[in-house]
Chain A
Amino acid sequence: MPQDAPPIQLASGEPSPAGAARTVKVWDVPTRLFHWSLVALVATGALTGLFTPEWWMGVHVWAGYGMVGLITFRIVWGVFGPEYSRVVSFVYPPRSTLEHMRGLLMLRPPHYVGHNPTGALMVFALAGVLIALVTTGLLALGGEEKQGPLALVVGYSLGSGAKRVHHALTQLLLLMSMLHVAGVVTESVLTGDNLVRAIVTGWKTLPPEAPHPTPRPARPWAAAALTAALAGCAALGIGWVARQPPPHGLRAVPRNATYDKECGTCHDAHAPSLLPAASWAGIMLGLQDHFGEDASLPPETTQALAVWLVGSAAETFDTEAANRFRTVAPASPHRITATPYWVRKHAEIAPAVFKRERIKSRVNCSGCHRDASSGRFDDQAITIPEG
């Protein structure tokens, strides 16, 4: 402990009924801001992940980026922040933790100025789950949606595995947040120390018998230097990732003027990545009776388009849509709109919506998906027109 530690800050003018209660500044402004911003971002993330329609995904992703920033800040502040924000100040030996828990069971937990040992365990657990949550979120975003910093390096299967873990962690985090609040309330009641007020105002009341703490001050310059170093590493990492050759999942759909002309007049020219090769071959063999209409073409045009479609079919892309639409409905293998995934994703849209003037039909994907021609089908690019 440094010799030049400043004396404990005492609140001036605080009424002290017993004459002995002292107040001490425990949570500084950055730590309090961190705490409440994190609460706001977790709430935003949970709402946009669990309840809002898919096109809120952009907000969800930004809440995630915000959390990455907050967690990074908190780790830095955990090294160079003021006394009670430092991680070392709330790492306790197992004996103290057991003692505190025993005290809790006997409804007489020992008093701690900063985090108590049981609370500290929850803090570490919450931090671990949050880090895992943003990591799996970034993996899912890159692998499944082909967005974000990892889009170029994560494949679909890893991304979709990460998404499942992300969902499980969400449930866990919500459960832990409730436990955390319950713990805060219990502790406040048992010790008479209002922990909620402490994380709002920063001040805590010391019981008369508590030892006089000698807190270490923050080292903002060291913190700034470490933050700059971390940001530099992140930039280098993202720069490296961005130089990797794009996997086939990201290649642009090659434009084909003949396809646009011959298959893009009655309906959108569907991106070839939306059906597997066998389906395209089947469609091209049956153009005379194309879903009840005559879409026949001269043999050489049919042949050329079939070769192009089969060569750019779903199997050759790694986007989420391409991966999902590889599984077609056995009864109508030529329809994207009959695939189990399409049916599931559009089950909640009323049939009347598809009849709206600017949509007209379920086959008109671009009526609602602004990026339909690219075959990406990003969540953020969905708008259902009103009329």
Chain B
Amino acid sequence: MKTWSLLAVAASAGLVASVALAEPRRDAILADLREQAKKEDPRFAGFSAERGATLYRATHQGKDGPISCSTCHGSTPLGNGQTRLGKAIDPMAVSKNPARYTDSANVEKWFKRNCTEVLGRGCTATEKGDFITFMSGQ
């Protein structure tokens, strides 16, 4: 009995660790962003999931009316989103969609498009890192 539960604990710990560690590509993207953020802002002191959450929900004036990241990605990152043209978007939360934020060219492409769309400018490295950090914890 005891050995079984020990084994189970060990196995689930291993599983959690492997999920967290499984994404060296996401870690590399975050590491790159951290380097950039330090260059952009000397006072940079790490990414914040809280700031990421704020970025996700904040509404701005877009060219066709109010818009936020959640307009397309859904009120919660755990659920599906939908583009304004009716196409479904998979959840943004890493727990729901482990393939998220693993292809740096794809991540950059969409940050460029969507930040311009929502904020009217490109996102800073800090904003990008905050966003991914927020999503990784979801």
Tell yes or no: A23 within 8 A of B by CB.
no
Q: List 13 A-B contacts (CB under 8 A).
A: A265-B83, A265-B87, A265-B89, A266-B83, A266-B87, A267-B85, A268-B87, A293-B117, A294-B116, A294-B117, A358-B86, A361-B86, A367-B86
Residues of A within 8 A of B (CB): 264-268, 292-295, 297-298, 358-361, 363-364, 367
Tell whether A360 pairs with B117 under 8 Å between CB atoms, given A264-B87, A266-B87, A267-B87: no
What are the 10 A-B residue pairs with the smallest beta carbon separation, nearest first?
A360-B86, A364-B86, A267-B85, A361-B85, A294-B113, A363-B85, A266-B83, A361-B86, A267-B87, A367-B86
Instruction: Evaluate contact between B113 and A267: CB separation under 8 angstroms.
Output: no
Which residues on B sit within 8 Å (CB–CB) of A298?
A: 105
Which residues on A sit within 8 Å (CB–CB) of B82?
A: 360
Tell yes or no: B112 within 8 A of A by CB.
yes
Which residues on B sit within 8 Å (CB–CB) of A367?
A: 86
Number of A-B contacts (CB under 8 A): 38
How far is it, in angstroms, between the C-alpha of A297 and the C-alpha of B89 when the chains are bound? Answer: 20
Seed contacts A294-B117, A360-B83, A367-B86; 7 additional CB < 8 Å A-B pairs: A267-B86, A293-B113, A294-B112, A294-B116, A359-B86, A361-B85, A361-B86
Which residues on B sit within 8 Å (CB–CB) of A363?
A: 85-86
Q: Which residue of B lies closest to A268 (CB)?
A: B87
Tell yes or no: B43 within 8 A of A by CB.
no
Number of B interface residues, CB 8 Å? 14
Which residues on B sit within 8 Å (CB–CB) of A361?
A: 84-86
Q: Which residue of B lies closest to A366 (CB)?
A: B86
Among B85, B89, B113, the residue within 8 A (CB) of A364 is B85
How far is it, in angstroms, between the C-alpha of A264 and the C-alpha of B87 when the chains are bound? Answer: 8
Q: Which residue of A lies closest to B105 (CB)?
A: A298
Which residues on B sit within 8 Å (CB–CB) of A264?
A: 87
Which of A265, A268, A292, A359 has the most CB atoms of chain B within a 10 A radius of its CB? A265
Tell yes or no: B2 within 8 A of A by CB.
no
Q: Which residue of B lies closest to A367 (CB)?
A: B86
Tell whether A360 pairs with B113 under 8 Å between CB atoms, given A292-B63, A298-B105: no
Which residues on A sit within 8 Å (CB–CB) of B87?
A: 264-268, 364
How far is it, in angstroms, between the C-alpha of A374 and the C-alpha of B89 when the chains are bound? Answer: 21
Which residues on A sit within 8 Å (CB–CB) of B105?
A: 298
CB distance from A1 to the nearest CB of B (A): 73
How far is it, in angstroms, between the C-alpha of A292 and the C-alpha of B86 when the chains are bound? Answer: 17
Which residues on A sit within 8 Å (CB–CB) of B83?
A: 265-267, 360
How far is it, in angstroms, between the C-alpha of A361 and the C-alpha of B116 when the chains are bound? Answer: 22
How far is it, in angstroms, between the C-alpha of A266 and the C-alpha of B117 when the chains are bound? Answer: 13
CB distance from B125 to the nearest CB of A (A): 19
How far is it, in angstroms, between the C-alpha of A363 and the C-alpha of B82 when the chains are bound? Answer: 14
Instruction: Evaluate contact between A360 and B63: CB separation under 8 angstroms.
Output: no
